[in-house]
Amino acid sequence: MYVSQQGLSGRIGFRDLRLERRAEQLVGAIHRTCTGTLSRLASNRAEQVAFSGFLHHDHVHLDQLIYAATRAGRERVQHAGHAHVLVCSDTTEVNLKATMGYRPAAELGVTGNNSDPGFFIHAGFALDPEHGRPLGCVSAQLWTRGGHVDFGACESQKWFHVTRDVQGLTPTVTLVHDREGDIYDLWFQVMQRQTHLITRARQDRALIPDYPGGPTRLWAALEAAAPSALFELSIPADPKRGRAARRSMMALRFRTVRLRSPRAGRAGKRGSVQLQAVEVRECTACVPCGESPVVWRLLTTHTVETVQQALQIVKWYMFRWRAEDTFSALKTRGLDVEASRLKSGLAVMKLGVMSLWSAAKLTELVKRRDDEVTQASIFFGEDELLCLHELLPRCEGNTKTQSNPYAAQSVAWAVWIVARLGHWHGSGKPGLQIIRRGLERFDAIFLGWEIGKQS
């Protein structure tokens, strides 16, 4: 998948052509098999040893792999031709406790629980603003907390790095952050780089009131605004917060606010920044017993003067979960990079970057399962499409409801066949694990198809 159509040779830029060819083979194997475990993605023992040697090679640098993966994402965005894209950023940890016996204990430092070994990834994923379909990873940073493999990165700067990386990506770029990205100084950098930002407010910030005696805090200012509209919203489940999935009525408020700088009294610091604030609050009657109402307070540089504009901000913020979907594809539900048994922590980080490249593509394929406009040739080579065409009659049933309903050769048409190979029986929509299983099975079928064609 992906490899035959896009041609990966020469994309990373190693001076040693042997490393370049090995990189091409490894990326291609990860894309085809949708796994980050060397024993599963290698076709034989010799290839497994070669892949391990590549990842442990001193001349294979992590920043080279990051540049290649993000460049592929930027080229994908340019090819899509959108004038405006969203870039959703988030952080995840790769916890390597299950395989800690295969490498030095203190090499990688600790993860968020301050005990398990591992490393962190902060990535920015480009999305089209209309449907929220992923377009690729356009920014990535990796670091550790202590340990021998430590690049001295300042974790608070990760949001600023993404802003820098996406400058000029398209004529208009909107960064979408969760509460961790609510940083006052970030607003000025965003405006200076002529980009936009949507972030969920993390704290009740101080305001410069619009009039004498007006609200001086963000929460109070939004509560003082009259509800502008009511709308229905599907709220996903959140096991960490004990929240059940439900469809609720939400009250919408919005207004212009001017945030006061937390360092307004210091010399050389700007005193305020003017933004648009949007509040989404779940109606009390819809909240299940024992749960708190869902409240989102969003800040943005976009103009918000109408209900439609406010709802657009809410829609774009909800697309932020695409980043979590991609990280899920990187871990146990997808490529399972945390199961790697490589002997070097730095080698696992290199594998993590290459796997993130593939996880972003896998997520894009899942989210395009209804896309009849885009041609499947973006994801599959010419021979792979011929193989899918021959597999179609075996995947279809005898009735209309069991037939592939999508336009031939479209992404949706190809995903339907792959989902059938992953043991999807037509109920609901195929998810990440079904598509991953289908791609893994298709890889084996395509290998046999090629052998039969050659003979």
Specify whether the CB–CB gap between 9 and 20 falls below 8 A: yes
Percent of the chain with pLDDT over 90: 65
How many CB atoms are located within 10 Å of the residue 59 CB? Answer: 10
- Distance, CA of 350 to CA of 53 (rounded, Å): 12
CA geometry: angle 347, 124, 437, nearest 5 deg: 65
- Under DSSP, the state recorded for 266 is S
| Spatial separation of the C-alpha atoms in residues 111 and 232, rounded to whole Å | 38
Give the span between the Cα atoms of 39 and 41, in whole angstroms: 6
**341 contacts 99 by C-beta, under 8 angstroms:** yes
Looking at residue 337, its pLDDT comes to: 93
CATH of segment(s) 64-204+261-277+285-327: 3.90.350.10
Per DSSP, what are the bridge partners of residue 87?
A: 126, 175
Residue 80's pLDDT is what?
Answer: 87
Confidence band, pLDDT 50/70/90 cuts, at residue 235: confident
242: left (phi over 0), alpha (psi -120 to 50) or beta: left
Instruction: Give the mean pLDDT of 431-435.
Output: 93
pLDDT at 2: 44
In 3D space, the residue among 206, 286, 293 whose CA is nearest the CA of residue 249 turns out to be: 286
In the block, tokens 């779940």 appear at 282
Q: What is the DSSP letter of 342?
A: -
The pLDDT, as a whole number, for residue 332 is 86
Max CA separation in the chain (angstroms): 85
Q: What is the pLDDT of residues 185-221, one digit of tens each?
A: 999 889 888 899 999 999 999 999 888 888 899 999 9
Domain 368-454 CATH class label? mainly alpha
Q: Left (φ > 0), alpha (ψ -120 to 50) or beta: where does 139 sit?
A: beta
Q: What is the pLDDT of residue 149?
A: 64
Place of tokens 């796997």: 355
Cα distance between residue 254 and residue 4, in whole Å: 49
> What's residue 357's pLDDT?
85
CA 400 from centre of chain: 35
DSSP 379: T
Evaluate whether 319 touches 261 at the Cβ level (below 8 Å): no
The whole-number pLDDT of residue 5 equals 38
Q: What is the mean pLDDT of residues 326-337?
A: 91
Residue 255: name the closest of 195, 294, 321, 305 by CA: 305
Cα separation of 91 and 226, whole Å? 35
Q: Residue 124: left (phi > 0), alpha (psi -120 to 50), or beta?
A: beta
Any idea what DSSP says for residue 299?
E
Residue 372 scores a pLDDT above 60? yes
Residue ranges of the domains in the chain?
A: 64-204+261-277+285-327, 368-454
